[in-house]
């Protein structure tokens, strides 16, 4: 495919959801809005898949705010591609598994599409101002989505989420502006930022400004407390996007915007951050063991997994970085699968309490099989997609410090404990009055989950295509630090 077409696709990836979102606001009927969402999500997935099949890097530049030195410049390297693919894959899954809300469905779909546009922008932007703009474009619709369609405590929770992420965003903005003004001819482009040389003290300061913003988004211990609440209270479709795709913004940003721009500082604080992340992993795992709420359990499990990825980023090993990149994709898929399960259980039985469930394997055997497979992926059993990533990440941790791998490895034991606890409480045991009425999956749901499980197993048995997609970028980025 010639470069112009690739560039056009890159722009369309962002422009389609943006246009679709604005259009959906105007649509009066929920059904029409959802159909529009389907069309946009389908097109974006097709385009993203086409683009991912192309080798090399796609770049696009257009004038945006020349007076400020900001350009509308996109760069799709392997890392961007895998995340663009994840985003494109996530939205059809969300659409297929969650119903249209009864209240203002048009606005709901519109905001979801705007979020998608923002996410695409974050993963593609190579201009700091555009990156920041898209970062906010992805976040702001989520505030509305949570506060309008969320659960009972949605206002308080959205407020907490807003405060956390907004503080992060402001720190990021300050950091960006600081680097911006260090230049003789101010420019926001990644290359210009990379060329800026800062003193060690300045680098440390800007590093923390950037890092806190990203760490809140990931989130890593101890900045994580917005997450279980937000996951619990958001509508499930939003939760899927939040945990499946949006937390990857933080990790992606660290790889793309933090480590290469502030190499000295990121080496200086590597040990501190990696150990904190490892401690957070164990901390979240222990809490997950005690959770009785399906959604909160998944949330803490997710925090533990993200902790491992964060540690993998900061041990400065190419192996671990490759593992993180694979895990970004794998975790997104797996956690969306788990949310689909949680949503189904909650909508059908009206509860998320694990202790109130049980015996679903008798009533809903197909669902039980999918839940078991997803759980196995969650504990990174070999031949599931998560194994490859975790194997590489632990490998990197081990190369950095073998005790870190050993201590972090305890979390794979704890992961087995809480995941199997969850499986046991939901599907095994005797049925009770509540679960007696449970129904098995219907055909579309089963098909959706079958696709998901197929992705999990295929990328687990043969991860090489994903590795090839990202390998060059990983090596380049690793060399830049």
User: Which residues would be at the binding site for another protein (CB under 8 A)?
Assistant: 160, 163-164, 222, 224-225, 283, 286-291, 318-319, 322, 359, 361-362, 365, 376, 381-383, 388, 391-392, 394-395, 398-399, 402, 405-406, 409-410, 412-414, 416-417, 420-421, 424, 427-430, 462-464, 467, 471, 475
CB half-sphere exposure, 229, CA atoms < 13 A: 17
Taking the C-alpha atoms of residue 191 and residue 463, their distance in angstroms, rounded to an integer, is 31
Least gap, CB of 242 to another protein (angstroms): 18
Q: Residue 162 or 193: which CB sits closer to another protein?
A: 162
Considering beta carbons, is residue 257 or 283 the nearer one to another protein?
A: 283
How far is the C-alpha of 227 from the C-alpha of 300, rounded, in Å?
Answer: 8
Contact between 413 and 448 (Cβ < 8 Å): no
Nearest approach, Cβ of residue 455 and another protein (Å): 18
CB of residue 20 to another protein, shortest distance in Å: 36
Burial of residue 475 (number of CB atoms within 10 Å: 0-12, 13-18, 19+) = middle
- For 97, other C-beta atoms within 10 Å of its C-beta total 22
Shortest Å distance, C-beta 398 to another protein: 4
Measuring CA to CA, how many Å separate 442 from each of 89, 345, 439, 445, 450? 21, 13, 8, 6, 12
Q: How far is the CB of 417 from another protein (least distance, A)?
A: 6
Q: How many residues does the chain have?
A: 481
What sign for the dihedral angle of Cα 388, 393, 395, 396? positive
Residue 64 vs 159, nearer CB to another protein: 159
Which one, 69 or 307, has the nearer CB to another protein?
A: 307
DSSP for 393-427?
HHHHHHHH-HHHHHHHHHHHHHHHHHHHHHHHHHH
| Cβ–Cβ < 8 Å for 204, 61 | no
Alpha-carbon 427 to chain mean position: 27
Give 343 or 390: the residue with its C-beta nearer to another protein. Answer: 390
Using the minimum distance from each CB to another protein, give the nearer residue, 34 or 224. 224
What is the number of helices (H) and of strands (E) in the chain?
Answer: 21, 2
* Residue 187 Cβ vs another protein, minimum distance, rounded to whole Å: 33
Rounded to whole angstroms, how far apart are CA atoms 163 and 218? 15
CA 213 – CA 165 distance, rounded (Å): 7
Least separation, in Å, of the C-beta of 382 and another protein?
4
Coil, strand or helix: which one is 481? coil
Using the minimum distance from each CB to another protein, give the nearer residue, 125 or 288. 288
- Residue recorded with tokens 């392997």: 78
Tokens of residue 93, six digits:
């899954």
Q: Closer to another protein at the Cβ: 137 or 455?
A: 455
Q: How far is the CB of 270 from another protein (least distance, A)?
A: 18
Residue 353 neighbours by CB under 8 Å, 6+ apart? 292, 293, 294
**Axis crossing angle, helix 318-349 with helix 294-314, rounded to the nearest 10:** 170
CB of 443 to another protein, least distance (A): 14
Q: How far is the CB of 430 from another protein (least distance, A)?
A: 5
- Supply the minimum distance, in Å, between the C-beta of residue 429 and another protein: 5
> Is the CB of residue 25 less than 8 Å from the CB of residue 107?
yes
- For residue 353, the cross-strand partners are 293
Return the number of the residue (47 or 321) whose C-beta is nearest another protein. 321
Alpha-carbon span 449 to 342, nearest angstrom: 13
Nearer to another protein, 194 or 399 (CB): 399
CB of 361 to another protein, least distance (A): 6
Nearer to another protein, 11 or 412 (CB): 412
**What are the angstrom distances between the C-alpha of 225 and each of 163, 169, 425?**
12, 17, 25
Instruction: Identify the burial level of 271 via C-beta atoms within 10 angstroms of its C-beta, where 0-12 means exposed, 13-18 middle and 19 or more buried.
Output: middle
Q: Closer to another protein by CB, 1 or 406: give it.
A: 406
């Amino acid at each position: 495919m010639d470069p112009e077409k690739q560039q056009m696709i890159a722009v369309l990836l962002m422009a389609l959801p943006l246009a679709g979102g604005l259009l959906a606001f105007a649509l009066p009927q929920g059904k029409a809005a959802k159909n529009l969402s389907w069309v946009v999500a389908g097109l974006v997935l097709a385009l993203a898949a086409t683009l991912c099949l192309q080798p090399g890097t796609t770049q696009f530049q257009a004038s945006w705010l020349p007076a400020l030195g900001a350009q509308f410049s996109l760069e799709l390297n392997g890392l961007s591609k895998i995340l663009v693919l994840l985003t494109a894959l996530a939205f059809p899954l969300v659409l297929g598994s969650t119903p249209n809300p009864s209240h203002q469905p048009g606005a709901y779909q519109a905001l979801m599409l705007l979020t998608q546009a923002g996410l695409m922008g974050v993963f593609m932007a190579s201009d700091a101002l555009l990156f920041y703009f898209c970062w906010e474009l992805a976040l702001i619709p989520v505030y509305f989505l949570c506060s309008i369609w969320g659960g009972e405590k949605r206002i308080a929770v959205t407020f907490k989420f807003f405060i956390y992420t907004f503080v992060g965003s402001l720190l990021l903005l300050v950091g960006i502006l600081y680097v911006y003004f260090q230049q003789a001819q101010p420019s926001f482009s990644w290359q210009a930022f990379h060329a800026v040389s800062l003193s060690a003290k300045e680098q440390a300061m800007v590093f923390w400004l950037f890092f806190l913003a990203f760490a809140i988004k990931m989130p890593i211990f101890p900045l994580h407390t917005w997450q279980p609440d937000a996951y619990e209270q958001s509508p499930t479709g939003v939760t899927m996007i939040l945990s499946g795709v949006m937390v990857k913004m933080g990790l992606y940003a660290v790889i793309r915007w933090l480590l290469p721009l502030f190499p000295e500082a990121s080496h200086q604080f590597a040990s501190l951050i990696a150990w904190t992340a490892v401690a957070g992993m164990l901390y979240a795992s222990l809490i997950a063991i005690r959770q009785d709420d399906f959604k909160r359990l998944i949330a803490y499990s997710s925090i533990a997994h993200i902790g491992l990825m964060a540690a993998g980023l900061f041990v400065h090993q190419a192996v671990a970085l490759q593992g993180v990149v694979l895990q970004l994709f794998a975790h997104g898929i797996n956690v969306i699968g788990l949310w689909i399960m949680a949503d189904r259980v909650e909508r059908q039985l009206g509860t998320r309490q694990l202790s109130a469930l049980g015996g679903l394997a008798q009533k809903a055997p197909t669902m039980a099989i999918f839940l078991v497979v997803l759980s196995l992926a969650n504990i990174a059993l070999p031949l599931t997609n998560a194994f490859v990533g975790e194997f590489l990440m632990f490998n990197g941790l081990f190369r950095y410090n073998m005790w870190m791998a050993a201590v972090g490895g305890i979390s794979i034991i704890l992961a087995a404990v809480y995941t199997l606890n969850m499986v046991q409480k939901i599907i095994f045991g005797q049925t009770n009055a509540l679960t007696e009425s449970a129904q098995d999956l219907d055909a579309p749901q089963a098909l959706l989950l079958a696709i998901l499980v197929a992705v999990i197993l295929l990328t687990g048995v043969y991860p090489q295509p994903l590795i090839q997609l990202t390998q060059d970028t990983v090596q380049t980025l690793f060399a830049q630090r």
